[in-house]
Structures are given as C-alpha cells and as structure tokens.
C-alpha cells in the first residue's frame, strides 16, 4: 500500500494557476463573441416610468439592447435545490419594478466590451421612486419562515424558569456587519448556443450538475442539451453556487441574438448584484449555577433579506450542537429591505452565530471566575439537541487541550495586566464547529496500460483543493504515484460530482472515487494498480474503466455529524491610536480523517484569515439615500493582507469518522472561520478590559 492519504501533497492545479494557464470563465476563447454590459437601477425602490434606448442602440458597435419591454424569454424554474436553483426568485427584466439599487434593468450588447459599456451609459431611465427601506432600524422584523425544510424556532423546557433561579445570568446583544464574498474572480459568463436548442455555458458554478438542470429548466430544454464548462473558479465562498440574474439574462440574450455572448460584472456590480452576508443582531441569554453548569440558553437573531428572495442567515444552527442546557430557546426574525439578495457565505449562520455564542460564553466565564475552557467542557453537548441524536465522533475536548498546550494558555493573568512595547496584550480563545454534510456523487476512473490513471467527474474545485484530493484518493487506492493521476473536473458531460459547498465535496467525492478504483482492481482481479497494469498490457486492451456512485444512507438517522475545533490567539492593542493587531494564532481541528494535510491546513488558515477580516475590517453599509453599497471594490472593502495576519499554527486531532462514510472524512472548508471573531474580541477584552459586541472592531471602538 502506498501511503498518500494523510500526507502533504502539492496542488494538482497549482502550476496552471501560478503560470496563468488556468482558464477562468471569462477567458475561454469562443470565436464570434460579442460583449454585454448590464444596465442597473439608480434607485432602490419604485418602478421604471420610461426607458429610452434609442441613443444606445445607435451607438457604434451596438447590436442589441434589452430591457423589460423586450425581455428575452425564460421559463420559471422549480427553484427547489433538487431539480434547479437560482439565487433570485424574480427573473431578470420580468417587469418594471425596482427592488434594490443596482438591480439589473437592461443589457447592452456590442462588438467590444468598451463600446457596450459606453452605450450602457446612454440608456435613459425615468423612475417613479418610493422611499426604500435601507436601514434595519426602519425595517419590520417578522418570524423567519422555515428554510430548507426546517423551522427556525425551537423550544426545549422553559428559558424564563431556567433564568429565574440562576446564580449568574448574562444577556448581551452582538452585531455583525453586512459582509461581501469578494472573490478574486468577478462573476462572469460566456453563453454560446448551438442553434436554439443546445446551450454551452462557461460560468462559475459550485454545483455543475444542478447548474446544468437549472439552465435546462430556464430554457425549456432537456438537461442533455445544456453543457456547463467550469474547470477553474477564482473563489466562490457560497456566491457561485447557482445562476444570478446576469447569467440568466446573458444566456437568454445570446439565444435571441444568435451570437456567443460574454457578460462580466464590474466589482461594483458584483457587490450590488451577486450576494452578500446579511448584517445580524443577536441576543444571547445564558444562565448558570455557581459551578458553571448552564440552566438556560436563549439565542435570538435578526437578519434581512431582499424583496425578491427569502434568505435567513441561520445563526442559531450552532447553538443546539455546542452547549447543553435543560432550557433552550432559539428563534430568528427576518426583515425585507431594499438591498440586493443575501445568500450563503462561508459558514452561513455558523460564522456570525459563533461570534455571538462564543463571546457570550467568554463573558459568562469571567462572571463566574471560571476558565473559559473549563466552562465549555462542563457544558459541551453530548447529543445534537435539535436532532436528538448522539454525535458520531467528537474530539472537542482534545481540540481544547491540544490548543491550550500549543498556545501556552495556562496561567492567564487578569485583564489589562500584560504589556509589550507600550501596547496591551490579550489572549483569547473560542470554539469552532461546522456540520458534516455529504451528498450523492458519481465518478469514472480509467486505468491505462502505462500505469497512469484518469479520474472524471463534474464536481469541481473552487480553489479548495478538490483536484488534489481526488488524485490522492485514486493514487492511494490503486497504489500508483499521485503524479500518475490525471483529474478532469467541472464539466457537466462528466458524471455528476455533486456540490462544492457546505464543506461536503471531499466527504461526497472521496468515497465514490475509492469505490471506482476498488471496482477496477476487482475487474482486473488484482490487488494493486501495478498488477492491474501488467494484466492490462498483456490483454492488449486500451484501459480498464469503472464508474461508481456513492450517497449518504441511514446513518443520518442514527448520528449527528459535526466537526469541532478551538482557536487560541494573542492580540496587541495600542489604545492611543486604536490599533489592534493579531500577533499569534493556534487552531486545532477535529474534522475526521485528513486526506491532504497541506491543503487541509491551508483551508483552516484561509478560514481564520477570513475570520480576522470579519473581526477587524469587513464592513459594508448601504447609503440610506441611494441604497447603494458605500464600498464597491477590493480597495474600499477591507480584508486582511499578509501584514495583518500572523503565522497560523494549525493542528488536527480526531479520528476517521467511519460512521459518516467509508473514508472517514468530514470536510474542512468552512469550520476555520467559525469562532475566529469571538476569539479576537475575547482577547481584546483580556487586553483592555473592554467588551466589544459590534463587529468589525475598528480603531474608533478601541480608543
């Protein structure tokens, strides 16, 4: 047996990415291409009274202008996550109504991008404007409707009774800002029709097979007539799972003009039209006995959605998995505001949810004069309180113990007692968690006589390392060097490789690839790939091939699958100028078996860096007058650079979670960000004595 699984393997796609030969959506060389630029609304609410496209149509190079008056035909998809899914339920240009600033109200097509962009400015629009709802303080919050089949409200016992007799009580409200996905690659599409009944789409997708079915439904075609090609994505974080309005409009317009059409959103358009994480306001109530045993937990959340789609940032999902109390109350409220549609963003719910919960646990620990690690261990959940199921594998205590050792946590002195170079020093910690998800996937594996292996699946690599994970799995199972494995992904003509989201690609795809490789050995009646190759050479055949699928089974009725972690950090605070630096970081994770130690640690580091962004910098307000986001590019939306990021020490504990899948992997994409902002705010409290409850922790809050 070669031992590739669990070693550090360089990215299969690394060379192509650093040399610029990796082809992203907007870069495919499609002959005869024309360019589209979207026209967007300058008001946030109302209707289009008149739209004049005459001047734009006469501009040089312009071949078509689309508005709601001549909107190209699309059908309503079923939009249910199974057969199809679009981000915004309202189809583009479907009427004259305006729901948010930046909403797409037209598309100008020309022979060059510059000419299309120029002509887009010539479209004249008159509006009947109404007063939009832009700020949460003016919004009407109502009970959030069920999401993906689950109610938000959950009541166990009686929180009021659990609070009443408690020795120590805490009630605190924590807020987070609107956050942007800000992927390095902006949203883009090239839509190319073959006649009017076959479509090729080059567009980022985290779920290639679903994107194929969705475009098929949008145009009334069988899925086989739609091909999605997306070998590389430049970051997604949840914002590139399904088609947005610009993609739908581009594909529809391309059919009508009978030319391949490219639409690339500007950074400003990406900000307004392609998702964000809603701001949240979370109130946590905790009650505990003097020994730290919790008697009540309440977690109540407000977030917002757009008028054209319902999405609730599911912050309370973490609470019933983390800590047990006999009395537990969860509830979420949602307001409709005139801003673009919010959606899934790395650890949707878990990232802001853990900010509130893990800040509150720290506050409670200080109030009880207990070590925050001891408080967490005392109350850790043995079962998932909503699912009523035990955790399949849980090594949370090991995360805390190993993390504390690596960091040197013991003997933490009183707040405001550590200084260095005239700055205050603080230590903080917080837990991390993310559910284990797994989906159905299929793949095909071919063993060739020269000993090389070819793996084919539509599942794709959004930058997380899926190419490499698949190659490692095939190399390990067939006993061939990883360099001999070629992986093809991100094409809907390949077997359905499932969703790159919910941190599930590895848990979904690795068991499938293992199975296909084992089938090859069975077919060849050999125990290794080398033997199988020799047999293949003798037989004179071109290849041995196997297709396999795998899917979750009954285990989800027996177990709750959840990953665990702990973050420890040091910050320095210069109170004179409000400067906060993160100077030391340790993360310890229990995510089941690790396939690629290098990529897995990188995923955790990426999550921590994104969490540092959430904690310190990422902030997006909407102008109450125009409704437009006041930040709109990678210069105005701040996130951490290398200089803002310390060395991040990552360690893994835990064991293969074989109840979950035969590979024992749970996935590692999202857990890294959870708990990070709380660990930082907890460290700031230790440094300064100040409890900050509103993210981001900008200098003005630290002076």
Nearer to ligand MOS, 207 or 219 (CB): 207
Q: Which residue has the tokens 């990422």?
A: 618
Q: How far is the CB of 236 from ligand MOS (least distance, A)?
A: 6
Nearer to ligand MOS, 179 or 398 (CB): 179
Q: Mask 336-365, x = binds ligand MOS (CB under 6 A)? A: --------xxx-x-----------------
Q: Write the burial class of residue 575 (CB in 10 Å: 0-12 exposed, 13-18 middle, 19+ buried).
A: middle
- CB atoms under 10 Å from CB of 147, counted, come to 17
Half-sphere exposure of 393 (CA within 13 A, CB side): 22
Q: Which is the catalytic residue, given 179, 281, 619, 670?
A: 670
Nearer to ligand MOS, 502 or 629 (CB): 502
Q: How far is the CB of 26 from ligand MOS (least distance, A)?
A: 21
Phi, psi (degrees; rounded to nearest 5) at 140? -100, 115
**Of 235-243, 354-362, 602-610, 625-633, which part binds ligand MOS (CB under 6 A)?**
235-243
Nearer to ligand MOS, 237 or 323 (CB): 237
Q: How far is the CB of 31 from ligand MOS (least distance, A)?
A: 33
Beta strands 294-305 and 327-336 are parallel
Q: How far is CA 83 from CA 218, 237, 264, in A?
A: 11, 22, 26
List the interface residues with ligand MOS, window 238-277 (CB under 6 A).
238
Nearer to ligand MOS, 529 or 667 (CB): 667
Alpha carbons 515 and 517: distance in angstroms, whole number: 5
Half-sphere exposure of 151 (CA within 13 A, CB side): 9
How distant is the alpha carbon of residue 324 from its chain centre? 27
670 flagged as catalytic: yes
Q: Binder to ligand MOS among 186, 204, 353, 502 (CB under 6 A)?
A: 502
- The verdict on 132 binding ligand MOS (CB under 6 A) reads no
Q: How far is the CB of 238 from ligand MOS (least distance, A)?
A: 3
Q: Binder to ligand MOS among 67, 206, 441, 477 (CB under 6 A)?
A: 206
Long-range contacts of 520-524 (CB under 8 A, 24+ apart): 520/445, 520/447, 520/478, 520/544, 520/545, 520/546, 521/477, 521/478, 524/447
- The verdict on 183 binding ligand MOS (CB under 6 A) reads no
**Of 233-241, 305-313, 357-365, 633-641, which part binds ligand MOS (CB under 6 A)?**
233-241
**Of 69-77, 128-136, 160-168, 232-240, which part binds ligand MOS (CB under 6 A)?**
232-240
Nearer to ligand MOS, 166 or 241 (CB): 241
Taking CB positions, which residue lies at the least distance from ligand MOS? 238
Q: Which residue has the tokens 């659990």?
A: 162
Q: Mask 287-306, x = binds ligand MOS (CB under 6 A)? A: --------------------
Q: Which residue has the tokens 């996937």?
A: 441
Nearer to ligand MOS, 509 or 532 (CB): 509
8 A C-beta contact, residue 155 and residue 327 = no
Report the number of secondary-structure helices (H) and strands (E) in the chain: 17, 27
Residue-by-residue DSSP string for 460-475: --SSSSHHHHHHHHHH
Q: Which residue has the tokens 């024309």?
A: 34
**Of 69-77, 225-233, 234-242, 414-422, which part binds ligand MOS (CB under 6 A)?**
234-242
Strand partners, 629: 622
Q: How far is the CB of 210 from ligand MOS (least distance, A)?
A: 13
- The verdict on 501 binding ligand MOS (CB under 6 A) reads yes
Alpha carbons 31 and 338: distance in angstroms, whole number: 40
Tell me which residues are annotated as active site.
Answer: 670
Please report, as ranges, the residues that interact with ligand MOS according to CB under 6 A.
Answer: 206, 236-238, 344-346, 348, 501-502
């Amino acid at each position: 047996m070669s031992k590739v699984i669990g070693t550090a393997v360089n990215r299969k796609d690394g060379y192509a990415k650093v040399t610029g030969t990796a082809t992203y959506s907007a870069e495919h060389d499609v002959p005869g291409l024309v360019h589209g630029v979207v026209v967007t609304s300058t008001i946030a609410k109302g209707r289009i009274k008149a739209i004049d496209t005459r001047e734009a149509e006469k501009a040089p190079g312009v071949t078509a202008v689309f508005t709601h008056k001549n909107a190209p035909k699309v059908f309503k998809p079923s939009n249910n996550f199974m057969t199809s899914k679009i981000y915004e339920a309202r189809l583009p240009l479907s009427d004259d109504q305006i729901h948010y600033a930046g909403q797409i109200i037209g598309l100008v097509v020309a022979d060059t991008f510059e000419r299309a962009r120029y002509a887009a400015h010539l479209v004249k629009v008159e509006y009947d404007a109404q007063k939009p709802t832009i700020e949460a303080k003016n919004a009407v919050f109502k009970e959030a409707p069920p999401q993906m089949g689950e109610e938000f409200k959950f009541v166990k016992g009686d929180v009021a009774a659990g609070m009443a007799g408690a020795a120590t009580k805490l009630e605190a409200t924590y807020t987070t800002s609107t956050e942007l996905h800000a992927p390095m690659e902006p949203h883009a599409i090239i839509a190319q029709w073959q006649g009017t009944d076959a479509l090729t789409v080059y567009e980022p997708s985290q779920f290639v097979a679903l994107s194929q079915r969705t475009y098929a439904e949008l145009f009334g075609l069988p899925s086989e007539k739609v091909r999605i090609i997306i070998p590389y994505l430049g970051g997604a974080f949840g914002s590139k799972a399904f088609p947005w309005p610009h993609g739908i409009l581009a594909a529809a317009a391309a059919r009508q003009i009978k030319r391949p059409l490219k639409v690339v959103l500007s950074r400003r358009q990406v900000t307004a039209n392609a998702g964000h994480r809603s701001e949240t306001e979370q109130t946590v109530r905790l009650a505990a006995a003097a020994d730290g045993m919790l008697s009540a937990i309440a977690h109540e959340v407000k977030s917002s959605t757009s008028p054209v789609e319902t999405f609730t940032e599911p912050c309370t999902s973490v609470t019933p998995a983390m800590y047990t109390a006999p009395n537990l109350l969860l509830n979420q409220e949602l307001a409709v505001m005139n801003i673009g549609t919010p959606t899934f963003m790395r650890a949707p719910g878990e990232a802001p949810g853990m900010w509130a919960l893990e800040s509150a646990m720290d506050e409670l620990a200080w109030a009880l004069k207990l070590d925050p690690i001891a408080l967490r261990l005392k109350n850790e959940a043995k079962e998932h309180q909503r699912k009523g199921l035990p955790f399949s594998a849980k090594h949370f205590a090991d995360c805390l113990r190993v993390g504390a050792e690596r960091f040197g946590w013991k003997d933490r002195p009183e707040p405001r007692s550590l200084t260095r170079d005239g700055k205050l020093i603080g230590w903080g910690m917080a837990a991390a968690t993310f559910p284990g998800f797994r989906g159905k996937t299929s793949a095909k594996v071919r063993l060739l006589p020269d000993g090389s292996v070819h793996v084919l699946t539509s599942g794709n690599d959004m930058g997380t390392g899926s190419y490499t994970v698949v190659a490692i799995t095939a190399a390990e199972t067939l006993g061939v060097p990883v360099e001999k494995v070629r992986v093809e992904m991100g094409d809907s003509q390949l077997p359905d490789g499932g969703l790159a989201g919910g941190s599930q690609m590895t848990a979904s795809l690795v068991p499938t690839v293992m199975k296909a490789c084992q089938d090859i050995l069975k077919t060849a009646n050999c125990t290794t790939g080398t033997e199988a190759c020799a047999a293949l050479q003798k037989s004179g055949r071109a290849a041995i091939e196997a297709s396999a699928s795998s899917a979750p089974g009954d285990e989800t009725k027996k177990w709750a699958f959840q990953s665990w972690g702990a973050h420890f950090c040091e910050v320095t605070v210069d109170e004179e100028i409000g400067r906060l630096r993160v100077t030391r970081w340790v993360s310890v994770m229990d995510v089941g078996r690790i396939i690629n130690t290098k990529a897995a640690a990188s995923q955790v580091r990426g999550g921590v860096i994104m969490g540092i962004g959430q904690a310190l910098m990422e902030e997006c307000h909407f102008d109450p007058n125009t409704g437009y986001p006041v930040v709109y590019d990678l210069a105005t939306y701040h996130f951490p650079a290398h200089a803002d990021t310390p060395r991040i020490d990552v360690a893994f504990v835990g064991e293969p979670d074989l109840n979950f899948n035969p590979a024992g992997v749970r996935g590692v994409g999202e857990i890294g960000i959870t708990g990070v902002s709380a660990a930082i705010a907890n460290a700031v409290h230790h440094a300064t004595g100040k409890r900050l409850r509103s993210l981001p922790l900008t200098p003005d809050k630290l002076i």
